[in-house]
Amino acid sequence: MEQTYIEDVARHEGEEVTLRGWLYNKRSSGKLHFLQVRDGTGTIQCVVFKKEVDPEVFERASHLTQESSIEVRGTVRADERSPLGFELGVTAIELVGESTDYPISPKDHGVAFLLDNRHLWVRSSRQHAIMRIRSEVSHACRRYFDERGFVLFDSPILTPNACEGTTTLFETPYFDETAYLTQSGQLYLEAGALAFGKAYCFGPTFRAEKSKTRRHLMEFWMIEPEVAYMDLEADMDMAEDFVEYVVQRVVANRSAELAILERDVARLQKVKKPFPRIAYDEAIEMLHDKGFEIEWGADFGAEEETAISDAFDRPVLVHRYPAACKAFYMKNDPEDARLALCVDMLAPEGYGEIIGGGQREDDWQTLRDKIRHHGLPEEPFAWYLDLRRYGSVPHAGFGMGIERVVAWICGLHHVRETIPFPRMLDRLRP
């Protein structure tokens, strides 16, 4: 029998269809069962009326338990009271797989319990909304670069190179050597940019962050574009245009999901170019005015980032941080050698840094000295230095963390709900 998906029932009004899904919830009286059935594309109320079905169908419905998988046959009819606009008048039900003592009931559970049951929690309506938005964000990210002539240039996950410092590396034996799980595809992507002009990568990245915050995961997904002949200013233009595109696509395509999450969409609609741009020096002044005692030279923590972003109603680009608090590969500002030609984008509403990037050091000698200065081993970086020996050009790019962007767009307190199976300091399971 042909299966109809709940998202398509509107096209079958008045017809008899077969749905395949799971029992989400049930209400019963002596004569009626109201089954909430979900199939992943939506939820529909299925009405089993004692007078209209065989006694064994009514009996079967009365014993159905939460999350049992079922095949339901019935007639699609309009129902103004349901959010879907339709319900199903049931004629037959088959039990496919029973579910006994489903651990997640409609009542409230603590987050730790829900995370222990993440493999089941992802079936609930809020998690559905978040995962669909994540899927939309990922799709928008790819689409943006695909439509602008970038080549998808996948970077390796196992690497001998530390891109973002040596304190957050996950090590793994690699036959007779030691490999790390990649912290960022950037270094390899620079090779891609010098080969293709415009390249991007999109994949999981890993950081052994010994901090338990609402913004940090050990495994997160990053989209990273890299462009040859690009400077910091053009890099900021690209970051701004890209973020506007991604946010507005979600607003346009995922309004139902944003409504389930009760997100204030007006705030997202404000995410339009131009975004404010301030230099690190100005950010420090702002912080001093707000009573922070931060010294020039220090990187910003979560509190500082929130204080800065609170001054704006859209993301803010903070550029030219002190080189000493940033990664080895950054190019120094020719106007002030203490500064790096870098940029962080801070999301509004306290979501913190969503993008980090900038212009890369393109001079062989300077880069070799930086590698030494940062105490990094030279041998694994020989190939990376080569890029400065064979036709080096100014180039720039950035990385955007998908989970932080999804948390911001969805208005979530913590990044743990933005990825199907979060990896955190105290959580490797399920």
Contacting residues toward ligand 4AD, per CB under 6 A: 163-164, 184, 186, 207, 209, 216-217, 220, 222, 224, 353-357, 397-401, 403-404, 415
> Residue 256 belongs to what H/E stretch?
helix 255-260
β-pairing, 316-319 vs 171-174, is unpaired
Q: For ligand 4AD, which is the closer residue by CB, 22 or 153?
A: 153
Residue whose beta carbon is closest to ligand 4AD: 356
Binding Mg ion (rule: CB under 5 A), the pick from 356, 357, 358, 422 is 356
Instruction: Report the nearest approach of ligand 4AD to the CB of residue 210 (Å).
Output: 11
What is the closest distance, in whole angstroms, from the C-beta atom of residue 231 to ligand 4AD in the complex? Answer: 14
Query: Nearer to ligand 4AD by C-beta: 17 or 340?
Result: 340
We find the least distance from the C-beta atom of residue 66 to ligand 4AD, in angstroms, to be 34
# of chain residues touching Mg ion (CB under 5 A): 1
Q: Which is nearer to ligand 4AD, 21 or 399 (CB)?
A: 399
Alpha carbons 100 and 64: distance in angstroms, whole number: 10
Restricted to residues 215-244, the positions that interact with Mg ion (CB under 5 A) are: none
Distance CA 300, CA 278 (A): 14
* Count of other CB atoms within 10 angstroms of residue 385: 15
Minimum CB–partner distance for residue 86 and ligand 4AD (Å)? 40
Q: Residue 347 phi/psi, 5° resolution?
A: -75, 155
312 in Cβ contact with 348 (< 8 Å) = yes
Question: Does residue 219 sit in helix, strand or coil?
Answer: strand
* Helix (H) or strand (E) run with residue 137 in it: helix 125-146
**Which residue, 356 or 422, is less far from Mg ion as judged by CB?**
356
Segment near Mg ion (CB under 5 A), from 7-15, 141-149, 291-299, 351-359?
A: 351-359
Supply the minimum distance, in Å, between the C-beta of residue 222 and Mg ion. 11
Nearest to ligand 4AD of 87, 403 (CB atom): 403
Task: Pick between residue 57 and residue 284 the one whose CB is nearest to Mg ion.
Answer: 284
Helix, coil or strand: residue 34? strand
Structure tokens at 196: 């293709």
Structure tokens at 176: 């007779």
- Name residue, tokens 């939820």: 43
Residues numbered 310 to 339 that lie near Mg ion (CB under 5 A) are none
Supply the minimum distance, in Å, between the C-beta of residue 327 and ligand 4AD.
7
Closer of 185 and 356 to Mg ion (Cβ):
356
Among 411, 419, 120, residue whose Cα is nearest residue 254:
411
CA atoms within 13 A on the CB side of 430: 11
Question: What b/e string do you get for 215-240 counting C-beta neighbours within 10 Å, with b at 16 or more?
Answer: bbbbbbbbbbbbbbebebeebbebbb
With CB cut-offs between 5 and 8 Å by kind, which of ligand 4AD, Mg ion, none does residue 403 bind?
ligand 4AD
Q: How far is the CB of 52 from ligand 4AD (least distance, A)?
A: 53
Total residues belonging to the chain: 430
Contact window for Mg ion (CB under 5 A) among 193-201, 292-300, 321-329, 353-361: 353-361
Which residues of this protein are in contact with Mg ion, per CB under 5 A? 356
